[in-house]
Chains A and B, each alone.
Chain A
């Protein structure tokens, strides 16, 4: 086995590792890249700024299908950021800001939908799916366990014989 082949294989391994790392990075970077917009809003109280930031992350831009206020360049998102800034400066709590926006733009702006009769499915579906999934896994595992049948005495000795016969040949060698 030549050095070139080994090098090639090492390189392939490295590329594969890199691809996996890149994929993980892409997956993890999703929410972080959403923080695209910076407004020059000044807060006297750092706690207020934290509330403001938290709200930008969790309020959905009404003009955009799947972007929060923090990540949207839409003019309406800028208006709503200014509105939230004003409300927070006036001393509104996060819940009050949420209610304020919900009263004007509806549930659409909340990424966390309220728990109501018509949103019950939304909240329960993941739980239901989890229960169904666990049920399927349990039944599959149980069935598999049931199919394990103990060997008879004759089969055990035959197995031992076969193992002894192949032991001389030794394990398969790595072709490299």
Chain B
């Protein structure tokens, strides 16, 4: 038993403390890496929100294809969606990227009132009353936002609010890259 071995417990403590300290800076445990990145947008066939007259229209996954589109999962019961709404309106106005809404487990009448009152950044809204498309998308709350490329592949997912920072840092660069790619393909 050498004197140096007396320091073994201290060493163990330091290593353990270091590991636990590093744990502070790991990802938020609430962050779920999406299993759907790089996968096609799941098939669906759901009614549009529309007005009372157009409510009979339906949409499916093919409607999303052919261009880069943001798909935003929202509901009137979701306070963060309200906070996010103005940013979606700004994004739609300033960038022109089409935004498709999924009205998730919500009341259609309330959703129409919401859009009339706060403005409507959506090209159209899909009514997912029972959350079935939500399950297929791996949605576990609202808001969630998906970036879908022209071939209908999900390239990015944001859980939680899309704000100015997220738009600038994570979404806009991806949209720019995707449009540059399709433009390049068009030229060739």
Interface positions of A (Cβ within 8 A of B): 62-63, 65, 75-76, 79-80, 83, 102-108, 143
Contact = CB atoms under 8 A, between A and B. Distances in A.
A106 B29 contact: no
B103 to A, nearest CB: 15
A75 B106 CA distance: 12
15 contacts: A62-B138, A63-B140, A65-B29, A65-B30, A75-B105, A79-B134, A102-B35, A104-B136, A104-B137, A104-B138, A105-B32, A105-B140, A106-B33, A106-B34, A108-B32
Contacts of B140: 62-63, 76, 105
Contacts of B134: 79
Closest 9 CB pairs of A and B: A106-B35, A62-B140, A104-B138, A76-B140, A105-B138, A79-B131, A63-B140, A108-B32, A83-B135
B135 A106 contact: no
Interface residues of B, number: 19
A106 B138 contact: yes
Given A76-B140, A106-B32, A106-B138, 18 more contacts: A62-B32, A62-B138, A62-B140, A65-B29, A75-B105, A75-B131, A76-B131, A76-B141, A79-B131, A79-B134, A79-B135, A104-B35, A104-B36, A104-B135, A105-B138, A105-B140, A106-B35, A108-B33
A108 B140 CA distance: 12
B35 A105 contact: yes
Contacts of A79: 130-131, 134-135
A77 B1 CA distance: 56
Contacts of B32: 62, 105-106, 108
A107 B32 CA distance: 9
Q: Of B130, B137, B140, which is in contact with the most chain A CB atoms at under 10 Å from its CB?
A: B140
Contacts of B131: 75-76, 79
Nearest to A75: B105
A143 B1 contact: yes
